[in-house]
Each structure stands twice: as structure tokens, then as C-alpha cells.
Amino acid sequence: MINASNAVSDHKSPSILAECSVRDGEWLEITPHNDLLQAEGNARHKAVMQWLEEVSVPVKLIGRLHSKGEVKIDGAHIRLRLFPPMDYGFDPRPHDRVKVLYEDDYVLVMHKPAGMNVHPSEASDPTITLAHAVADHYQQTDQKCAVRHVHRLDEDTTGPVLYAKNEFALSKLDEQMRSKTIDRKYIAIVQGKVSDGLTVIDQPIGKDRHHKQRRRVSPTGQEAITHVEKIYGSARASLVRLTLETGRTHQIRVHMSDAGHTLIGDVLYGGSQEFYRQALHGEQLTFEHPFTEQTMTVNDQLPEDMIELVDQLGIPRP
């Protein structure tokens, strides 16, 4: 299954593993391009385990699969049970404003609309979240995958959210999050004219002890770095592109507010009320594909409500 209308990949050759394997139902069937399977008994078993590690199958996953009898050596093939059926973890519930931006056997990138959380705040919450909508998508397409997001967006921020469709993909993508190699670009409309000199905001962020929901710049907070590119600026408002180097809660909102350019509509951080939500959209998501190891870039067009806002403010459309 591949849905790639909003995604592009680099021209790098696929990984060794991707070049010599094919999915067969719940299993990945691998045909190594060497004499790996010529050995016998324990020597062959040891060589296979070492080779799987060399081609970047996560070590812990290899161990778990092996302990469950889900690594099989069959003639000229190695078989790994990478696609077992899994419970969704959330009740499937449809929503007409979500959209698949990219999908294959390992990852799903879904557009999140405004006014929707990525997952429920508690089990009893009746509100439809993106997790419910993803579960519905899996059900409608006859896929038995657990709903596992790799990163999040605020409730009123629109844009792409990345999901791992199996344990192999989750392990590889979680490592990318830890190493900060998943690149996220955002478009925001902020108050006032942003200076050309504002290109990087490197200010730690912590909780605001005076307000449960807010965060603030704090010397004792966690490291937070946001890169700023001004696309257009006027005395009334600016259109900026923002790239996260870290991923703290409300990072863009806190940093731009602290810089004197609160997002339009971001009432929580003192923004004007001329827009019904914070004017923030995830424009682009770039990551290394967990299986092919090619760089994937997924784009998400500016939503209609923000297009209307830039028109209203006299800002050229990006």
C-alpha cells in the first residue's frame, strides 16, 4: 500500500534490507545477496543474527522476535514477522476533515485539522481525536495496526502527524526523535513586523507556575531552539516560517510571544482575537524512512482558514 501524492523522497538508493526483501502477509521475506545462508546449524544462526543487526534491524526487536519464534530461516530466505495483527488501541470513529498525506507498509502521515487533539486526554473523554480517526482509517482499509503517533501537534495547530505502523518503524522513528533528526517546518502569522535579524530563538522553556496550561521562557527550563525565517512583514502582521530544532510543549507559541510577536489568535499567550485559533500550521515534515532509509518529505498545504487570514491582512500567499 502506497499513497504518496503529497510526499517526495531523495534519490538515495534504498537500504540493503529494502533492496533484498518483500512483504508476504505478516512476514518480511528477505533474500540476502551473499553466502550468508550457506553455513550450517549454530554458525548459520549466529551469522543471520549478526547480519540483521548490520542491516539496521533494531537489536531489541531482533531479540523479541527470536524469543517468540518469529525469526525463521527457510532455504534461501530469512523471514521476520514484522506485521502481526494488532489492536488499534482506540475506537474507530470517522472524521471528515482528516486526510492521508502519505502511507506505506511502515508509516502513515495524517493531516490534523484545527480543534482536534492527537489523542484523548483520558479514557472517558468522548471527543473524537486524531487517534480515533486513524483507527477508523485502518479499519476502513482492512489494516490491523496499533495507532502509535511519533510526535504531536497542539489542539488548534493544523498539519501533518507521523504514525508508525509496526514495532520496527516505531523503534527507528523514536530514535530519530531522540536524535532530533525529524525536521518540522511551520508557517505562522504573528503580530507586528518581525526584524530581519530575528533568525534563531535559543531560550529554555519551562512550566508557568502561575498558569497550569501555559509555558514560559525560564532559565531553569529545558533547552528549546526555534529557527525563524521572515517571509513577509508589515507593521500589522508578519508571515514567518519556523523550524524546530527541539520539540517543547508550545515551543513556537512561547518563543514568538517572548520575542514580542505573539501568534495572531493565540489568546493564551496574549494574542489578538481577530482569528479563532492560533495562526499556526505544520507546512512540512521530513524524516528518514525507517525501512528504505531514504529521506522523505511530506508537504501539507496551508488550510483555507489561514489562506483567508493572509488575504484579509494583505499578506501575499506563500
Catalytic residue annotation: 154
Cα gap 224→248, rounded to integer Å: 7
Q: Is 218 buried (19+), middle (13-18) or exposed (0-12) by CB count in 10 A? A: middle
Cα gap 249→10, rounded to integer Å: 30
Nearest to 150 by CA among 120, 117, 173, 131: 173
The set of cell numbers assigned to 257 is: 510571544
Residue whose grid cell is 527470536: 66
CA geometry: angle 218, 241, 233, nearest 5 deg:
100
Cβ atoms < 10 Å from Cβ of 2: 8
Cα gap 186→2, rounded to integer Å: 25
Is the CA virtual torsion 204, 207, 210, 211 positive or negative?
positive
Please tell me whether residue 211 adopts helix, strand or coil conformation: coil
Strand order in the sheet with 237-244: 7-9, 295-299, 280-288, 183-191, 237-244, 225-233, 200-202
Query: Is 238 within 8 Å of 264 (Cβ atoms)?
Result: no
Strands 225-233, 237-244: pairing kind:
antiparallel
Nearest to 28 by CA among 54, 62, 4, 67: 62
